[in-house]
C-alpha cells in the first residue's frame, strides 16, 4: 500500500512540476532577444489560412514582432472572449461583433480610441459607423456583408423577371415564380430567416437608422404601424405560399439546398452565402436584391449592409504600439484585397481589387443607398429575439397585431434596464 | 488506528477540486445574483433581490418554466414506460435480446449535439426523412413542420430525448428484472397466476427501486435538457421550446445579463433541489436507498 502511495505522490509531483513549467512558459510575451509577441484573437476559424499568410508577410516586414493568432468558434467567442480580453493576456488585436458585444466591450473600456490613426482613412467612412461610439472610432469593421436575398439570375431570365422596385412588383414576381412551379423564396424560418429578411422588409417601412434604438428606449413601439405593417407583409408572403411549405421548421442549410438545387428562385439570407453557394453549384448565376415594401417613389433604401468583424486594439494590451502596427498593416488595401480574395469575404476598405465574380456582385452594391442592418441596432439580445420571434409568431398563425403586442410586452420589461 | 491527519491529506485533492469546481462557482453565482454585473465590466452594483423579482415577473421565464414542466412530464412518463416495456421484452439473455439491447442502447453513446443535428435533418419539412417518407407513402397530409410548429415543437424534441435515452433506462430495468428470483415467478405461475398478475404482484413491486432510479434520473435529466433544444430549435419558434436552461444561457451569453442569469440559475437550483428532495423521500419509502 505504501509503495502505491509513493508512486502516486511521485506522479502528482511530476504533473505539478510540468504544469508549473508550462504555466511559466505561457506567462511571458517578451522574449529575451527583445522580440515582442502580440496576440490576435478572433472567431473566423475559416480564415486561418489566409491570415497565416498575411501574418507571415507582416512578420517578414517587422522582424521584431511575432503575431500569435488564436481563434474561437463564433459561439465561444460571444461567450468567452470578454473574459480573455479583460486581463490583457490575449487579444492585443481582437475582433468584435457589432451591436450587443460591441456595446458590452465598450462599456468595459476594452477598446483603444483609433480616431486619430492615419490608417482609418483607408476605410469607406460610410461603412465603419458600427465601430463608432460617442464620435470615437473604437473599432474598424473589416468585413462587409449585404443582408438581403440572393436570387438565381438564370431563373429570373427564364421568366423575364427583374428585381422589382415596389411591393406590388415583388408580389407579382413571386406569383409568377409560384405559377411556374418554383419556390419564390427559400426561407430558413427555423433559425436565420426571420433575422435576415426582417432587415430589408423593415428598411423602407420605417426608413430610419435608429427606429429600434427608439423601441429599446421606449420612445417607439413594435405595435406602431411600421412593425405591424412589416409583420402583415411577412404574413402575406406566407399566406400566398411564397415561402416553401412549413418554412418555420426549415433551417439555414436546408433552405440553402433548395436554392442551390434551383428549386427556389430566392434565398432569404445574405451576401456571405454567395461563395458557398457557388462552391456547391458552380453553374449558379447569382445576384442580390431587396424586397421594396413600399411604392417605388417612397423607397429610401435599396438594401441593407452589415459591417462586421470589427478589428480593435485592446486597451489592456501591454504592447499597444505593436498592436496598432499590425492593425495598420491589415488596413492596407493590398492586404485587405489579399484577405478578401483568399476568403471570399468583401471588405470595408476603399480601392480593393476583387478577383471572384461573387465578390464583384457585392462590390456593385457599394454605391447603392443601403442602411446598416436594423436588427443589429437592437442592442439587447432578448429584445432582438422578441422581434424575430414576432415574425415566427405570424408565420405560425398569430395576427400581426397580436404578435406585435406580445413582442412589445417583452420589450416593455426591458425598457430602462 | 489510522492517523486522521493522513486521511484528511488524502481527501485534500478531492476537497480542493470540489471546492474550486463546484462550491466556489455556486457561491459566486449566488453572489452575482444580487448584482447587475454584465459579465464583462470590472464594476457592478448590488441590486438586492431585484434580479429574483425580475425573473419571476419575466414573461419568458414563466413560459420557459411551463415548457420545462411539460417537457419533463412527457419525457418521464413516456420514457419510463418505453424503457420498461423494452426491458420486459429483452430481459432474457438470448443472442437476439443482447443484440437488440445493444441496438436500443446505441443512441445513448452518441453525443447529444450529434443527435440534435441528425434529428434536425430528419425533421426538416422540405428535405427531411419523415416528411419525404410520408410523401412517398401518399400520406403527405400527415407531413408537418415538426420543429417549426409551435404546438408540436416541444414534443418533437421530447421524442428525440426519449429516443436517445430510453435504451439507457432499459438497461437499469433489465438489471432490476434479472435480480428478481426466478422461483418467485415460477411459484406464482404454478399457483395459476396470469402474466398480468405476476407483473402486478411480483415483478413491479420488486422492480420499484429500479423504477425509482429511472424516474429520478429521467426527471433531473429532462429538467436540465439543454443541448438538444439548443441545437435543434434554440428555444424557438417564438419561445415554444424555451426552457429554463436555454433562457439562462441566452440571458448570460447573448444578453450579457450575468446578474439576472445568476438569479435564474439560483431559482433553477432551488427547483431542482426541491424535486430531488421529494424523489429521495420516494426512494426511501420504496426502500431503494436502504
Q: What is the pLDDT of residue A29?
A: 55
pLDDT score, position A18: 46
Which of chain A's residues have a Cβ under 8 Å away from the Cβ of B237?
Answer: 189-190, 248, 389, 392-393, 395-396
Please name the residue that has the C-alpha cell 466591450: A105
Nearest Cα residue in chain A from B248 = A382
Picking from B41, B148, B233, the nearest residue to A250 by CB comes out as: B148
Rounded CA-CA distance A201/A237 in Å is 11
Could you tell me the fold of the domain covering B58-285? Answer: MetI-like fold (1.10.3720)
* pLDDT for B58 beyond 70: yes
- Using an 8 Å CB-CB cutoff, list chain B residues near A249: 123-125, 144-149
Q: Which of A201-210, A375-384, B112-121, B272-281 has the weakest average pLDDT?
A: B272-281
Superfamily, domain A150-289+380-414: Periplasmic binding protein-like II (3.40.190.10)
Nearest to B126 among A86, A250, A390 (CB): A250
Interface A:B, Cβ pairs < 8 A: 119
Measured between alpha carbons, how far is A113 from A132 in angstroms, rounded to an integer?
9
- To the nearest whole angstrom, how far is the Cα of A366 from the nearest Cα of chain B? 30
Give this complex's ipTM. Answer: 0.79
User: What is the per-residue pLDDT for A28?
Assistant: 42
At residue B73, the pLDDT reads 93
Q: Which residue of A has its CA nearest to B144?
A: A246
Domain range list for chain B:
58-285
Disruptive mutation site among A97, A100, A248 for chain B (greatest number of B CBs within 10 Å):
A248
A257 touches chain B (CB under 8 A): yes
CB contact (8 A) between residue B126 and residue A251: no
Residue B287 has pLDDT above 60, yes or no: no
CB A140 within 8 A of CB A130: no
Cβ separation of B236 and A79 shorter than 8 Å?
no
Interface contact flag, A246 B255, Cβ < 8 Å: no
Over the range A174-195, which residues count as b (16 or more CB within 10 Å of their CB) and which as e? Answer: bebbbeeebbbbbbbbbbbbbb
Tens-digit pLDDT profile for residues A105-138: 898 889 999 999 999 999 998 889 989 999 999 9
Q: Could B144 and A246 be called an inter-chain contact, meaning their C-beta atoms sit closer than 8 Å?
A: yes
Chain A residue whose CA is closest to B233: A190
Q: Picking from A62-76, A343-357, B183-197, B267-281, which range would have the lowest pLDDT averaged per residue?
A: B267-281
Residue A15 has a CB neighbour count (10 Å cut-off) of 10
Please state which of the ranges A2-16, B16-30, B166-180 shows the lowest mean pLDDT. Answer: A2-16
Cβ atoms A257, B128 nearer than 8 A = no
CA distance B77 to chain A (A): 26
Residue B222 burial (10 A CB sphere; 0-12, 13-18, 19+): buried
- From A102-106, B11-15, B170-174, the region with the lowest mean pLDDT: A102-106
- Name every chain B residue with its beta carbon within 8 A of the beta carbon of A105: 40
Residues paired with A288 in a beta bridge: A150
**What is the mean pLDDT of the segment spanning B98-103?**
93
What φ, ψ does residue A143 adopt, rounded to 5°?
Answer: -95, 150
Q: Where are the beta strands (DSSP E) in A263-356?
A: 264-267, 286-288, 303-313, 346-347
Which chain B positions have a beta carbon within 8 Å of A191's beta carbon? Answer: 234, 236
Q: Do B127 and A246 touch (CB under 8 A)?
A: no
Region B133-162 average pLDDT: 93
Q: Which residues of B touch A254 (CB under 8 A)?
A: 121, 124, 126-128
pLDDT mean across residues, chain B: 90
Nearest CA in chain B to A12: B13
pLDDT of residue A27: 42
The pLDDT score that the predictor gives to residue B285 is: 65
Do residue B255 and residue A100 have CB atoms under 8 angstroms apart?
yes
Could you tell me which residues come within 8 angstroms of residue B141 by beta carbon, excluding any fewer than 6 positions away? none
pLDDT at residue A4, as a whole number: 41
As a whole number, mean pLDDT of residues B239-245 equals: 94
CATH fold match for the domains A29-145+306-364 and A150-289+380-414 = yes
Q: Which CATH class is domain A29-145+306-364?
A: alpha beta
* Closest-approach residue (CA) in chain B for A85: B40
What is the pLDDT at residue B283?
64
By the 8 A CB rule, do A133 and A379 touch? Answer: no
> A390 at the B interface (CB within 8 A)?
yes
Are the C-beta atoms of A243 and A185 separated by less than 8 Å? yes
Q: Within chain A, which residues score under 50 in pLDDT?
A: 1-28
Q: Which residues of A343-380 are buried (b: 16+ CB within 10 A; e: fewer)?
A: bbbbbbbeebebeeebbebbeebbeeebbbbbbbbbbb
Predicted local distance difference test score (pLDDT) of residue B290: 41
Q: Report d(CA B281, CA A167) in Å as an integer.
A: 64
pLDDT for B92 beyond 60? yes
Distance CA B72, CA B77 (A): 8
So what's the pLDDT on residue A77?
Answer: 84
Numbered residues of chain B with Cβ closer than 8 Å to any chain A Cβ: 38-42, 54, 57-60, 120-121, 123-128, 131, 143-150, 233-239, 250-257
The pLDDT of residue A417: 67
Query: Parallel, antiparallel, or unpaired for β A150-152 and A264-267?
Result: antiparallel
pLDDT at A364: 85
> CA-nearest residue of chain A to B60?
A410
Give the closest-approach CA distance of A80 to chain B in angstroms. Answer: 9
Of all residues in chain A, the one with the smallest CA distance to B127 is A254
Cβ neighbours of B256 in A, within 8 Å: 100, 104, 381
Asked if residues A136 and A109 have their Cβ atoms less than 8 Å apart, the reply is no
d(CA A281, CA A260): 6
Q: Chain B: nearest CA to A77, how far in angstroms? A: 10
Q: Tell me if A249 and B149 make a contact (CB, 8 A cut-off).
A: yes
What are the boundaries of each domain within chain A? 29-145+306-364, 150-289+380-414
Are the beta carbons of B147 and A190 separated by less than 8 Å?
A: yes
Q: What per-residue string of b and e applies to A94-112 under the rule 16 or more CB within 10 Å gives b?
A: bbbbbbbbbbbbbebebbb
Instruction: Please tell me the pTM assigned to this model.
Output: 0.81
CA distance B45 to chain A (A): 13
Amino acid at each position: 500500500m505504501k509503495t502505491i502511495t509513493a508512486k502516486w505522490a511521485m506522479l502528482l509531483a511530476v504533473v505539478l512540476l510540468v504544469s508549473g513549467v508550462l504555466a511559466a512558459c505561457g506567462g511571458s510575451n517578451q522574449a529575451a532577444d527583445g522580440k515582442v509577441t502580440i496576440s490576435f484573437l478572433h472567431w473566423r476559424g475559416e480564415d486561418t489560412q489566409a491570415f497565416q499568410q498575411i501574418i507571415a508577410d507582416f512578420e517578414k516586414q517587422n522582424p521584431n514582432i511575432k503575431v500569435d493568432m488564436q481563434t474561437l468558434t463564433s459561439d465561444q467567442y460571444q461567450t468567452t472572449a470578454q473574459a480573455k480580453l479583460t486581463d490583457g493576456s490575449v487579444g492585443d488585436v481582437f475582433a468584435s461583433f457589432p451591436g450587443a458585444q460591441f456595446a458590452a466591450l465598450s462599456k468595459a473600456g476594452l477598446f483603444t480610441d483609433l480616431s486619430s490613426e492615419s490608417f482609418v482613412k483607408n476605410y469607406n467612412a460610410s461603412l465603419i459607423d458600427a465601430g463608432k461610439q460617442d464620435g470615437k472610432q473604437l473599432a474598424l469593421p473589416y468585413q462587409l456583408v449585404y443582408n438581403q436575398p440572393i436570387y438565381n439570375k438564370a431563373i429570373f431570365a427564364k421568366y423575364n423577371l427583374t428585381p422589382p422596385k415596389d411591393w406590388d412588383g415583388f408580389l407579382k414576381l413571386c406569383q409568377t415564380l409560384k405559377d411556374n412551379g418554383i419556390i419564390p423564396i427559400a426561407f430558413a424560418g427555423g433559425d436565420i430567416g426571420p433575422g435576415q429578411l426582417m432587415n430589408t422588409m423593415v428598411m423602407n417601412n420605417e426608413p430610419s437608422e435608429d427606429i429600434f434604438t427608439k423601441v429599446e428606449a421606449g420612445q417607439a413601439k413594435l405595435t406602431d404601424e411600421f412593425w405591424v405593417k412589416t409583420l402583415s407583409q411577412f404574413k402575406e408572403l406566407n399566406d400566398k405560399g411564397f415561402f416553401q411549405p412549413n418554412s418555420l421548421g426549415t433551417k439555414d442549410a436546408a433552405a440553402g439546398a433548395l436554392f442551390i438545387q434551383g428549386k427556389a428562385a430566392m434565398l432569404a439570407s445574405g451576401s456571405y452565402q454567395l461563395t458557398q453557394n457557388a462552391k456547391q453549384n458552380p453553374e449558379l448565376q447569382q445576384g442580390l436584391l431587396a424586397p421594396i415594401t413600399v411604392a417605388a417613389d417612397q423607397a429610401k433604401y435599396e438594401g441593407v449592409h452589415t459591417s462586421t468583424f470589427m478589428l480593435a486594439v485592446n486597451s489592456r494590451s501591454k504592447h499597444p504600439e505593436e498592436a496598432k502596427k499590425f492593425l495598420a498593416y491589415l488596413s492596407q488595401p493590398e492586404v485587405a484585397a489579399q484577405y478578401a480574395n483568399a476568403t471570399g469575404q468583401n471588405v470595408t476598405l476603399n480601392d480593393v481589387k476583387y478577383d471572384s465574380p461573387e465578390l464583384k456582385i457585392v462590390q456593385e452594391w457599394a454605391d447603392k443607398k443601403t442602411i446598416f442592418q436594423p436588427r443589429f441596432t437592437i442592442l439587447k439580445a432578448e429584445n432582438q429575439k422578441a422581434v424575430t420571434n414576432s415574425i415566427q409568431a405570424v408565420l405560425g398563425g398569430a395576427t400581426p397585431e397580436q404578435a406585435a403586442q406580445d413582442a412589445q410586452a417583452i420589450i416593455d420589461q426591458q425598457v430602462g434596464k | 488506528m489510522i492517523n486522521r491527519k493522513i486521511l484528511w491529506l488524502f481527501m485534500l485533492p478531492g476537497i480542493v477540486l470540489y471546492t474550486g469546481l463546484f462550491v466556489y462557482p455556486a457561491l459566486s453565482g449566488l453572489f452575482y445574483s444580487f448584482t447587475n454585473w454584465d459579465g464583462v465590466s470590472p464594476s457592478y452594483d448590488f441590486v438586492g433581490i431585484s434580479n429574483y423579482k425580475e425573473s419571476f415577473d419575466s414573461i419568458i421565464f414563466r413560459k420557459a418554466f411551463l415548457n420545462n414542466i411539460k417537457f419533463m412530464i412527457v419525457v418521464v412518463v413516456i420514457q419510463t414506460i418505453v424503457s420498461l416495456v423494452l426491458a420486459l421484452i429483452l430481459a432474457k439473455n438470448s443472442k437476439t435480446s443482447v443484440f437488440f439491447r445493444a441496438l436500443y442502447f446505441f443512441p445513448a453513446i452518441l453525443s447529444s449535439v450529434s443527435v440534435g443535428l441528425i434529428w434536425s435533418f430528419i425533421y426538416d419539412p422540405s428535405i427531411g426523412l419523415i416528411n419525404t417518407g410520408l410523401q412517398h407513402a401518399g400520406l403527405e397530409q400527415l407531413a408537418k413542420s415538426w420543429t417549426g410548429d409551435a404546438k408540436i415543437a416541444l414534443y418533437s424534441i421530447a421524442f428525440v430525448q426519449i429516443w436517445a435515452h430510453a435504451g439507457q433506462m432499459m438497461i437499469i430495468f433489465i438489471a432490476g428484472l434479472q435480480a428478481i428470483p426466478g422461483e418467485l415467478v415460477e411459484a406464482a405461475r404454478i399457483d395459476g397466476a396470469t402474466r398480468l398478475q405476476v407483473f402486478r404482484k411480483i415483478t413491479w413491486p420488486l422492480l420499484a427501486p429500479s423504477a425509482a432510479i429511472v424516474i429520478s434520473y429521467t426527471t433531473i435529466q429532462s429538467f436540465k435538457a439543454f443541448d438538444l433544444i439548443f441545437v435543434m430549435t434554440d428555444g424557438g419558434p417564438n419561445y415554444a421550446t424555451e426552457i429554463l436552461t436555454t433562457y439562462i444561457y441566452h440571458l448570460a451569453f447573448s444578453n450579457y445579463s450575468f446578474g439576472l442569469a445568476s438569479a435564474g440559475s439560483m431559482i433553477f437550483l432551488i427547483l431542482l433541489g426541491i424535486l430531488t428532495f421529494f424523489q429521495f423521500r420516494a426512494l426511501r419509502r420504496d426502500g431503494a436507498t436502504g
